[in-house]
Chain A
Amino acid sequence: MIHAAFLMFLLPLAGFVVLALSGRRLGDPLAGWVGTATVTGSFVVACITAAGLLGMPGPARHFDQTLFTWIPVGGLNVKAALLVDPLSMTMALFVTGVSALIHLYSIGYMKGDRDYPKFFLYMNLFVASMLLLVLGDNLLFTFVGWEGVGVCSYWLVAFWFGRPSAASAGKKAFLYNRLADVGFLVAIFLVFERTGTLQYQGIFAHVSSIDPASRTAICLLLFAAAAGKSAQLPLFPWLADAMEGPTPVSALIHAATMVTAGVYLMCRINPILGLSHPAQLVVASVGVATAFVAATIGCAQQDIKKVLAYSTVSQLGYMFLAVGTGAYEAAIFLMVAHAFFKAELFLGAGSVIHGLDDEQDLKRMGNLRRWMPLTFATFIFGWLAIAGIPPLAGFWAKGDVLDNAYVRFPALWFVGLVTAALTAYYMSRLSALAFWGDDRWRDVLKARPGQHGQGAEPHDAPRVMAVPLVVLAVLSFVGGVLLLPWHPGWAPLSWLGPVFGARLYDAHLSGTSLWVLGLVDTVVALGGLGVALPLWSAQAHRPELEPAVLQRSYFLDDIYDAVIGRPGQALARFSAVVVDNRIIDGAVNGVGRLARLSGTGLRRVQTGFVRQYALGIVIGAVGLLAFMVARAWS
């Protein structure tokens, strides 16, 4: 049954093709159901494949499915092959699972949109690309998926391209990613040059023969690509703008799945990364710095989705911290837990936005717990999970990351701990502003009589949107607890063992220190929560706590504009006017004129008279004869 693995990515692809050919005829809501069905089917296949993998003995859990030989050119022989192992299956399971839920949610959320079928078309293509990315058995295949999710992200961010802000946000996301992808490409070249193969198993077999400098270079180049895709310093500003896309897109692509691709990539290359200490240090430091910076920005944002976006950036930073400390399992654990609770939070936010006629400003919400009880009840789980309150998933996952950092890099652990406090703070601020306080939204609904009519009140989402909310809330709650080693025979995280080797801190931390660290985490989280909740439910406007430097995310956009944007434009202008017009066009025109002149000259030979053509043949023949005979006598 493991041989059905290829169906996983073929099903969404088939959905894409069906929607592309007949999406318009299927219409609303049939197109949505088709899209949801294919992704659900993909999830079922993923479960079956995972079961097949579990049926194998531990170390042998590895299955390579070669579909066909894709590019055989010279020494480069790339196969279109899927790699099914515990890591890729973990990714595939949560990607298909979360995607299925969000597709379901979108059926309700996108209702009535002008381009309803197109939305599901892109979403299906995205899922197919994402699965290609995680299941690819070589760097090139992963790269194809990598670019595929990038372009889908561009289309979906700019989905409402009629709005200039959405169009430019799409462009921004695409450009940041393309810039980072250069690292991926160069890394592919370098790997091929050093090992002669692009297949992961082949690369890892050669890893000892790669010199240390190249190892570090490969890791850092791939990390550059990962930093773009996963929005790390200094490439994170695009993710906040990407919130211009529809909320399900933000939940699926810019929280749960695509942005974790970078983490996945770094985990995938762990045999190389593990041998390069400088690269590990860089990854861990960038990760924790991003986590901290993004958390501080998150404390001052007004837009509900932007808070969540920066929180995503921050959580991704934690994941890279784990990767850098060698705790890959912790990174994957946090990634899965984060997928659950962040998708939950985004869908909850979407429900709020939907209920308030597309209002996203936190300062114009308030006291929604009375009007949207279901959204509030499910949102609580996501909020407490990300804040790190035991026993929700976030506590265990984040704790795992911080414990490992404590052993490996104590200084980074401390920054991480401060960030944990900030996380609890800004998430509680968000919840307080949205669900407590006064009914500040009344002005909004009065001013903008939307689909709900004048003076209407916010309401909970329809059932098709509620189901995913409840499922994700449950997962946010039990996701962590279920994975704990309650019993010696029950060790779900060791399932990743064949890919990553032993867990790091097992050997270093005693049971007591684990308890102490857990306690510290809890205290810090409760502290952040305890400060924010009363503060922000009492009073929504506190400019002293929202300095402009944080609101405008450290002026990063302005700095990039000044340092890169303007000089870039100047350079472009210079190139266009001086270099292109004068130098290049001059040269090209010169060559063209030369070619044209000689062409016109040579054309004269073409008289149309057979006798002259025959003469041409004779001259050519005599020339050749003379040449050859001369060789005979020389």
Chain B
Amino acid sequence: MTELFAAAGHLAIPRISYLSIMPVLILLGGGVGLLGISALWPRQLPPSAGTAVGVLVAAAALVASLVQWVDVSNHGPHVAIAGAVVQDGFSVLISMLVSISVLLALFVSDTWLKRERVGGPELQVLMLVSASGAVIMGEANDLIVVFLGLEIMSIALYVLAAFNARRQESGEAGLKYFVLGSFSSAVFVYGIALVYGATGTSNLPQIADYLARNVLLHQGLLLAGVALLLVGFAFKVAAVPFHLWTPDVYQGAPTPVTGFMAAIAKAGGFAALLRVFVSSFGLLRSDWQPAVWLVAVLTLVLGSVVALVQRDVKRMLAYSSINHAGFVLLGLQAATARGVEAAAYYLFTYSFMVVGSFAVITLVAGPGDAAHDLENYRGLSRRSPWLALSLTVLLLSQAGVPFTTGFLAKLEVVSAAVGAGSDALAVIAMVSAAIAAFFYLRVVFTMYSGAPATAGAHVDGGGGMPAELPRPSGALLLAADVSVAQAPTAVSVLGEQGTGQPIPSGAVVAISLCVAVTVLFGVWPAPLTSFAHLARLIIQ
């Protein structure tokens, strides 16, 4: 009796290593702090201020991740806070990825907020909070913590999808995402319960340990739990057949949010999926690999085939993101250290491509965020050469053209699949990449052909976006100056558009960064690949 009392009196508080959750604390604290500032501010907080604070917070989170990286490379991977979170190369890579993605997305949404005159810092707050959820998923070492991260990330994303109150589609997207997301979360929690029932723990290393020490006579309970967890994750990363929400939500959500969502929801979802399946259920791989194989095939094929018939660029990129999810699943299906590294590399490079692509789409869409039809891209190269060139680079990278990061990403996952003996899957993936190349190239072709569509007239008119757009960066201009004898200099390109309207510098920063990373590390892959080699799970 006294013992029980003593135990209750001294609640065992675990030692908290603040470094291990520093990026989460910064993102969450920054978000809440920003909300507080805006509440206390006498007038409405201008979007620029919200962006500035948000960017600082994201940069701080990035720095914290770098400190974590130094820590991991000096002291090796370790668990912290009573085994709730883990710090290893993989978690650090994910938190860097998420910090960078939120930073870039904040720049893009700054442009969008000013154009749509949607006030308030709530967008930035929600992005930061959602990002903190994704970081938690990357470093979660317990199924409950995974769920915690999943919900923090998702609930913020539901609201973000519905953020543009003036567009009906946006509200619809938010609601759909919310209903289906809750549904899949319920399935996920049920999966946790079943796994707990089968193994007596929800801690990931302990699950692995339990499976290593015990031979289960009846695996039914455990495997059912694994299946339900897979459903929950597959919903988040938009794998077929749990992808049905994706096109509607991607299309309905505000465009900068779509890019953000595609980057971090995939990153967070896949981070936890890889860790749970490869680390904890590694011994069951012969059971879940065929299931993942099937999901991967469906995802690859459906993502590329249905994208072919889309006329709406946002919707097309939604299917393309499904196709990309299939490629990352290749890394999971391999279930090797190589596969995990390849998947991490893929997610890292993909986040730049997708945030950059949606940044361009945000600009082309024009006021009202409405012009997403393929016809609106006709003749973009003439209206705004820099924008067209940027989107071309990013789409080619998504298609996996050499000398872009996308090529190496595809190469890595495919060779990981081949290394694990999944030759057929590798072949299917490559065929799907070939089909996917068609619709990427169709956008590129449309941009570089034909006269500007009349439908896009409002794009050029009055407050039109692309007209006053792009300030070409020096590096890009170099190519133009060399290849075209009479190429105008930087000054004259700007001079053509001297309409006196403000240049949406936020989007320009984001797009330039995305393009630069995509090209630079495509041509010179060594730094990024060696960085990805550090993305090891604490338990392989």
CA distance in complex: A79, B408 (Å): 17
- Residue of B228, B294, B304, B530 near A621 (CB, 8 A) is B228
How far is the CB of A508 from the nearest CB of chain B, in Å? 49
Q: Does B441 contact A (CB under 8 A)?
A: no
Residue of A70, A592, A599, A631 near B526 (CB, 8 A) is A70
Contact A599 B309, beta carbon cutoff 8 Å: yes
**Roughly how many angstroms separate A633 CA and B308 CA in the complex, as a whole number?**
41
Which chain B positions have C-beta within 8 A of A68?
Answer: 524, 526
On whether A627 and B235 interact (CB within 8 A), knowing A73-B411, A121-B482, the answer reads no
Give A17's nearest chain B residue, CB to CB: B478
Q: Name the residue on A nearest B488 (C-beta).
A: A24
Given A71-B526, A614-B179, A625-B227; A619-B305 close (CB under 8 Å): no
Q: Is B242 close to A, CB under 8 A?
A: yes
B162-185 contacts to A, CB under 8 A, are 175-176, 179-180, 183-184
Interface-located stretch among A353-361, A535-543, A565-573, A602-610: A602-610
Flag if A624 contacts B230 (CB, 8 Å). yes
- When the two chains form their complex, are residues A74 and B415 in contact, meaning their CB atoms are under 8 A apart? yes
A595-B526 in contact given A613-B245, A628-B226, A632-B220 (Cβ < 8 Å): no
A118–B481 CA distance with the chains assembled, in angstroms:
10
B223→A614 contact, CB < 8 A: no
Q: How far is the CB of A624 from chain B (nearest CB, A)?
A: 4
Q: Which of A111-147 contact B (CB under 8 A)?
A: 115, 118, 121
Check B244–A595 contact: CB distance below 8 A: no
Tell yes or no: A620 within 8 A of B by CB. yes
Is A512 part of the binding interface, using a Cβ–Cβ cutoff of 8 Å?
Answer: no
Task: Give the residues in chain A near B415, CB-CB below 8 Å.
Answer: 74
Instruction: Tell which of B175, B219, B244, B485 has the most Cβ of chain A within 10 Å.
Output: B244
Instruction: Take A595-B305, A620-B231 as given contacts and tell me if A628 and B223 are in contact as well, using a CB distance cutoff of 8 Å.
Output: yes
- A contact residues, total (Cβ < 8 Å): 44
Interface of A is mostly: helix
Known: A71-B525, A605-B244, A621-B187. A610 touches B180 (CB 8 A): yes
Bound-state CA distance A310–B276 (Å) is 70
Pairwise interchain contact B530-A632, C-beta atoms closer than 8 A: no
Q: Which residues of A contact B213 (CB under 8 A)?
A: none
Is B248 interfacial (CB 8 A cutoff)? yes
Contact: A599 with B308, CB < 8 Å? Answer: yes
The distance in angstroms between the C-alpha atoms of A21 and B473, with both chains bound, is 12
Cβ contact within 8 Å between B244 and A600: no
Nearest-Cβ distance from residue A118 to partner chain B, whole angstroms: 7
**Which among B290, B306, B477 is the interface contact of A603 at CB below 8 angstroms?**
B306
In the bound complex, residues from chain B placing their C-beta under 8 Å from that of A629 are 220, 223-224, 227
- CB-CB under 8 A for A624 and B291, given A68-B526, A69-B526, A73-B529: yes
Interface residue A451 (Cβ < 8 Å from any Cβ of B): no
On whether the beta carbons of B309 and A600 are closer than 8 Å, the reply is yes
Q: Please, how many angstroms separate the alpha-carbon atoms of A605 and B243 in the complex?
A: 11
Whether, in the assembled complex, A51 has its beta carbon less than 8 Å from a beta carbon of chain B, the answer is no
A602 to B245, CA, bound (A): 14
Q: Please determine whether A606 and B482 come into contact, CB atoms closer than 8 angstroms.
A: no
Residue from B218, B291, B295, B408 in contact with A628 in the complex, judged by beta carbons closer than 8 Å: B291
**B 202-230 to A, binary, CB cutoff 8 A, 1 in contact else 0:** 00000000000000001110111011101
Q: In whole angstroms, what is the CA distance A598 to B306 when docked?
A: 8
Q: A70-B524, A610-B180, A619-B241 are in contact. Are A595 and B411 (CB under 8 A)?
A: no
Least CB separation from B247: chain A residue: A606
A596 adjacent to chain B (CB < 8 Å): yes
A-B contacts counted at CB < 8 A amount to 124
B537 CB contacts on chain A under 8 angstroms: none
Nearest CB to that of B489 among chain A residues? A24
Question: B241 near A616 (CB under 8 angstroms)?
Answer: yes
Q: B187–A20 contact, CB under 8 A?
A: no
User: Which residues from chain B contact A488 at a C-beta distance below 8 Å?
Assistant: none
Residue B242 contacts which of A20, A69, A73, A616 (CB distance < 8 angstroms)?
A: A616
Cβ contacts under 8 Å, B196 to chain A: none
Q: Do A592 and B482 touch across chains, with their CB atoms under 8 A apart?
A: no
- Asked if B287 CB lies within 8 Å of chain A CBs, one says yes
Specify which chain A residues have a CB less than 8 angstroms from the CB of B448 in the assembled complex: none
Asked if A72 is at the interface of the complex by the 8 Å CB criterion, the answer is yes
Q: Are B235 and A631 in contact (CB under 8 A)?
A: no
Is residue A617 contacting chain B, with contact meaning CB distance below 8 A? yes
**A617→B180 contact, CB < 8 A:** yes
Q: Which chain B residues lie closer than 8 Å to A74 at the CB level? A: 415
Shortest Cβ distance from residue A107 to the other chain B in the assembled complex, whole angstroms: 21
What is the distance, in angstroms, from A437's C-beta to the closest C-beta of chain B?
42
Give the residue name and chain of the A residue nearest to B315 (CB). Answer: A606
* Chain B minimum-CB-distance residue to A125: B482
Q: Which of A25, A613, A621 contacts B231 (CB 8 A)?
A: A621
Closest to A608 in B: B248
Complexed CA–CA distance, A608 and B175 (Å)? 12
Within 8 A of B (CB), among A1-30: 17, 20-21, 24-25
Chain B contacts to A: CB under 8 angstroms = 175-176, 179-180, 183-184, 187, 218-220, 222-224, 226-228, 230-231, 234-235, 241-242, 244-245, 247-248, 287-288, 290-291, 294-295, 302, 304-309, 408, 411, 415, 435, 438, 474, 477-478, 481-482, 485, 489, 524-526, 529-530
* New A-B pairs, 17, CB < 8 Å, besides A72-B529, A627-B294, A629-B227: A71-B525, A73-B525, A73-B529, A121-B482, A595-B308, A595-B435, A596-B308, A603-B309, A606-B248, A610-B175, A616-B244, A624-B230, A624-B291, A628-B227, A628-B291, A629-B220, A632-B222
Give me the 7 closest cross-chain CB pairs, A-B, nearest first.
Answer: A620-B241, A599-B309, A613-B244, A632-B220, A628-B227, A628-B223, A632-B219
Residues of A with Cβ closer than 8 Å to B?
17, 20-21, 24-25, 68-74, 115, 118, 121, 592, 595-596, 598-600, 602-603, 605-606, 608, 610, 612-614, 616-617, 619-621, 623-625, 627-629, 631-633
